[in-house]
Chains A and B, each alone.
Chain A
Amino acid sequence: MSREVEGTGAAGTGVDLGHSSREEGAGEGELSLAQVAEVATLARLGLERGELEQLQKELSVILSHISAIAAVNTESVAEMARVGETANSWREDVTTPSLPVELVLANAPARQGDHFLVGAIQE
Chain B
Amino acid sequence: MTAAVAGTGNWSITRLAQALEKKELSSEELTGAALDSIDTWEPALHAYLSQMREHALDSARASDRARLADEKVSLLSGIPIALKDVLCLENQPVTAGSRLLEGFTSPYTATAVARLKAAGMVFVGKTNCDEFAMGSSTENSGYGPTGNPWDPACSPGGSSGGSAATVAARSVPCSLGTDTGGSIRQPASLCGVVGFKPTYGRVSRYGLIAFASSLDQIGPFTRRVEDAALLYREMAGADPMDSTTLSDPVEDPVPQLSAGVAGLRLGVPREYMGSALSPGVRAAVEAAIALYQEQGAIIEEVSLPSTDLGLSTYYVIAPAECSSNLARFDGVRYGNRLPSELAPLTEMYLETRRKGFGPEVKRRIMLGTYVLSHGYYDAYYRKAQQVRSLIANEFSTVFSKVDALIAPTSPSVAFPLGAKSDALSMYMCDVLTVPVNLAGLPGISIPCGFEDGLPVGLQVIGPRLADAMVLRVAHAYEEASGWKDEAPKLPHTLTTGEAL
Taking Cβ atoms with an 8 Å cutoff, the residues of A that contact B are: 7-17, 19, 31, 36, 39-40, 42-48, 51, 55, 58-59, 61-63, 65-70, 72, 74, 77-84, 86, 89, 91, 99, 103-104, 106-110, 116-121, 123
Find out whether the CB atom of B385 lies under 8 angstroms from the CB atom of A108: no
Interface string of B374-398 (1 = CB under 8 A from A): 1111011111111111101000000
Whether, in the assembled complex, B500 has its beta carbon less than 8 Å from a beta carbon of chain A, the answer is: no
Find out whether the CB atom of A119 lies under 8 angstroms from the CB atom of B373: no
- B362: which of A55, A78, A123 is its contact (CB, 8 Å)? A55
Q: Which of B104, B346, B357 has the most CB of A within 10 A?
A: B346
Q: Compute how far the CA of A47 lies from the CA of B344 in the bound complex, rounded to whole angstroms.
A: 17
Find out whether the CB atom of A74 lies under 8 angstroms from the CB atom of B383: yes
Find out whether the CB atom of A116 lies under 8 angstroms from the CB atom of B332: yes
Interface string of B237-262 (1 = CB under 8 A from A): 00010011011000000000000000
- B309: chain A residues within 8 A (beta carbon): 68-69, 72
- A67: chain B residues within 8 A (beta carbon): 312
Given contact pairs A10-B372, A16-B374, A61-B423, a sample of 8 additional A-B residue pairs in the complex whose CB atoms are under 8 Å apart: A9-B324, A39-B366, A45-B357, A46-B350, A46-B354, A78-B386, A107-B333, A119-B344
- A70: which of B348, B383, B438 is its contact (CB, 8 Å)? B383
Find out whether the CB atom of B330 lies under 8 angstroms from the CB atom of A8: yes
9-residue interface stretch from B171-179, B188-196, B335-343 = B335-343
A-B contact pairs, 10 of them (CB 8 A): A40-B366, A42-B369, A44-B346, A46-B350, A46-B353, A83-B201, A83-B439, A107-B333, A108-B333, A119-B347
Find out whether the CB atom of B377 lies under 8 angstroms from the CB atom of A74: no
- B353: chain A residues within 8 A (beta carbon): 8, 43-46
Taking Cβ atoms with an 8 Å cutoff, the residues of B that contact A are: 104-105, 107-108, 199-201, 214, 240, 243-244, 246-247, 306, 308-309, 311-313, 315-316, 323-324, 326-327, 330-337, 342-351, 353-354, 357, 362-363, 365-367, 369-370, 372-377, 379-390, 392, 422-424, 427, 438-440, 464
Q: Is chain A's interface secondary structure helix, strand, loop, or mixed overall?
A: loop
Find out whether the CB atom of B370 lies under 8 angstroms from the CB atom of A39: yes
Closest to B440 in A: A83
- B326: chain A residues within 8 A (beta carbon): 9
- A11: which of B313, B323, B389 is its contact (CB, 8 Å)? B323
Query: Given A8-B349, A80-B389, are A43 and B323 neighbors across the interface (CB < 8 Å)?
Result: yes
Q: Compute how far the CA of A82 lies from the CA of B214 in the bound complex, rounded to whole angstroms.
A: 7
Q: Compute how far the CA of A16 lies from the CA of B370 in the bound complex, rounded to whole angstroms.
A: 10
Query: Given A11-B323, A118-B348, are A17 and B362 neighbors across the interface (CB < 8 Å)?
Result: no
Q: Compute how far the CA of A36 lies from the CA of B381 in the bound complex, rounded to whole angstroms.
A: 18
Query: Given A45-B354, A68-B312, A81-B385, are A17 and B367 neighbors across the interface (CB < 8 Å)?
Result: no
- B337: chain A residues within 8 A (beta carbon): 109-110
Find out whether the CB atom of B246 lies under 8 angstroms from the CB atom of A43: no
Q: Compute how far the CA of A65 lies from the CA of B323 in the bound complex, rounded to whole angstroms.
A: 20
- A58: chain B residues within 8 A (beta carbon): 363, 422-423
- B334: which of A13, A109, A117 is its contact (CB, 8 Å)? A109
- B354: chain A residues within 8 A (beta carbon): 45-48
- B392: chain A residues within 8 A (beta carbon): 80
Query: Given A47-B354, A59-B363, A69-B383, are A103 and B369 neighbors across the interface (CB < 8 Å)?
Result: no
Closest A-B pairs by Cβ, 7 of them:
A9-B327, A46-B350, A11-B324, A109-B337, A83-B440, A79-B385, A89-B243
Find out whether the CB atom of A9 lies under 8 angstroms from the CB atom of B365: yes
- B390: chain A residues within 8 A (beta carbon): 72, 74, 77
Q: Compute how far the CA of A55 lies from the CA of B290 in the bound complex, rounded to whole angstroms.
A: 46
Find out whether the CB atom of A119 lies under 8 angstroms from the CB atom of B312: no
Find out whether the CB atom of A120 lies under 8 angstroms from the CB atom of B344: yes
Find out whether the CB atom of B375 lies under 8 angstroms from the CB atom of A86: no
A to B contact number (C-beta, < 8 Å): 209
**Distance between A47 CB and nearest chain B CB, rounded to angstroms:** 6
- A16: chain B residues within 8 A (beta carbon): 373-375
- B315: chain A residues within 8 A (beta carbon): 62, 65-66
- B247: chain A residues within 8 A (beta carbon): 86
Query: Given A80-B385, A81-B385, are A13 and B372 neighbors across the interface (CB < 8 Å)?
Result: yes
**Distance between B136 CB and nearest chain A CB, rounded to angstroms:** 15
Find out whether the CB atom of B342 lies under 8 angstroms from the CB atom of A119: yes
- B327: chain A residues within 8 A (beta carbon): 7-11, 44
**Distance between B386 CB and nearest chain A CB, rounded to angstroms:** 4
**Distance between B236 CB and nearest chain A CB, rounded to angstroms:** 14
Q: Compute how far the CA of A65 lies from the CA of B427 in the bound complex, rounded to whole angstroms.
A: 11
- A69: chain B residues within 8 A (beta carbon): 309, 312-313, 316, 380, 383-384, 387
Q: Compute how far the CA of A46 lies from the CA of B309 in the bound complex, rounded to whole angstroms.
A: 33
Find out whether the CB atom of A13 lies under 8 angstroms from the CB atom of B107: no
Q: Compute how far the CA of A117 lies from the CA of B342 in the bound complex, rounded to whole angstroms.
A: 9
- A109: which of B336, B365, B373, B380 is its contact (CB, 8 Å)? B336
**Distance between B54 CB and nearest chain A CB, rounded to angstroms:** 21
- B377: chain A residues within 8 A (beta carbon): 13
Q: Compute how far the CA of A70 lies from the CA of B351 in the bound complex, rounded to whole angstroms.
A: 36
Q: Compute how far the CA of A89 lies from the CA of B240 in the bound complex, rounded to whole angstroms.
A: 9
Q: Compute how far the CA of A110 lies from the CA of B108 in the bound complex, rounded to whole angstroms.
A: 21
Closest to A102 in B: B107
- A66: which of B200, B316, B324 is its contact (CB, 8 Å)? B316
Find out whether the CB atom of B374 lies under 8 angstroms from the CB atom of A17: yes
Find out whether the CB atom of A89 lies under 8 angstroms from the CB atom of B324: no
Find out whether the CB atom of B385 lies under 8 angstroms from the CB atom of A13: no
Q: Compute how far the CA of A29 lies from the CA of B311 in the bound complex, rounded to whole angstroms.
A: 19
